[in-house]
Amino acid sequence: MSHNAPLPAFGALAGLKVVDLSRVLGGPYGGQILADHGAQVIKVEPPAGDETRAWGPPFADDGTAAYYNGLNRNKRDIAIDLSKPEGREIVLKLLEDADVLIENFKIGTLERWGIGYEQSLRERFPRLIHCRVSGFGADGPLGGAPGYDAVAQALGGLMSLNGTPGTGALRVGVPVVDITTGLSAAIGVLLALVERQRSGRGQFVEATLYDTAVSLLHPQSANWLQSGQTPQLSGNAHSNIVPYDKFATRTCEVFLGIGNNRQWKKLCEFLGQPALADEPRFASNAERFRHRDELRALLETQLQQVDGEQLCRDLLATGIPAGAVRSVPQVLTDPHTLHRNMVVDVEGSRAIGIPVKLSRTPGQARTKAPRFGQHTRELLIEQGYDAATIDALIARGIIMEHPAK
């Protein structure tokens, strides 16, 4: 691993150098995971900047969208025009002691610039792990096509499973494919790093929105491969388990996740209907599934009489999965969210915390997302450039400290 630049002395990935050429969501999210755990991540932005800087409102005081700030903390930032040969030379210099390159350029762009992985980077930097995030990969019937989260949700089948017969297919409300592709990218990089300890060699790692969307189809994909029956829109209900669904109570909506007969018996006791558990129609999951409409009607009647929040607290306390349906503000101010450090203060701004907790080498949210070109001079000085050369590169528009208009 590289020892050229100042290294954060914390985290499982301390000493790792990552050059992150990616923009928007999947790539930056994967890079942020590595940065949260101590990698030195250098974000390289194009002259106009990462477009998510403008994806607001809301905007921070400096005019940067919250969307961008949520994906780029703990990184240092340099802005380079890669369409110019001198710009590409700077990136190649950054890669000399880098461990990982993350990029999500349109397929063929790096090759056009002469810096594709097979074309030049693999030979020039044999230890480099090159991670490409793309919509569909480079080949196959959809190879090279542009990818966006909602399109991947549609083409990858997720929309066909989300919604009710009344609403029709619905997009999942968060960019779940982009985010999980970022996770796949980070996992792929870590796998390649472990393998490099054995072989001494880097490799090409690919994470695509399409493959990730298809991988998220469990259990409906497994069900179809087994039975040949097309999964239907089932709203909040589970495709295999009953009752596993959203219900209205006297005070709020709740989700009950009853996964086995023991939990079913306990729920019936809580609702003051212990005999319901032993009725032949409802005695096993297969029978409950067969009679799910009757069961739902019975439960709805009982639940209308109870305080939903209290019911869920009582059920959870006895080991039964249940939760009130909460809003984002409710979640982000909840005592358990705060106890788990899932909302943190980063240089005076509130942000989401780190979901993976390591006991000896925990991750940290240390610095907020960088301003455009914030570390351009600092990073070039570390690479051996002198002030006059840096000034000349800025004057010629190869690098920049302010976004191109």
Q: Alpha-carbon distance 31 to 79, whole Å?
A: 17
Q: Alpha-carbon distance 284 to 261, whole Å?
A: 7
DSSP-assigned beta bridge partners for residue 247: 254
Q: Alpha-carbon distance 353 to 360, whole Å?
A: 17
Question: Interhelix angle for 176-199 vs 26-36, to 10°?
Answer: 50
Q: Alpha-carbon distance 389 to 40, whole Å?
A: 24
Of residues 36, 178, 211, 245, which has the active-site annotation? Answer: 178
CA distances from 238 to 242, 260, 351, 357 (A): 7, 13, 32, 30
Of 344, 393, 343, the C-alpha closest to 373 is: 393
Parallel, antiparallel, or unpaired for β 17-20 and 253-257? Answer: unpaired
Residue with tokens 């455009």: 372
245 tagged catalytic: no
Structure token pair of residue 46:
């194009």
With beta carbons less than 8 A apart as the criterion, state whether 34 and 42 touch: no
The 3-state DSSP class for residue 309 equals helix
Q: Alpha-carbon distance 200 to 240, whole Å?
A: 46
List the catalytic residues: 178
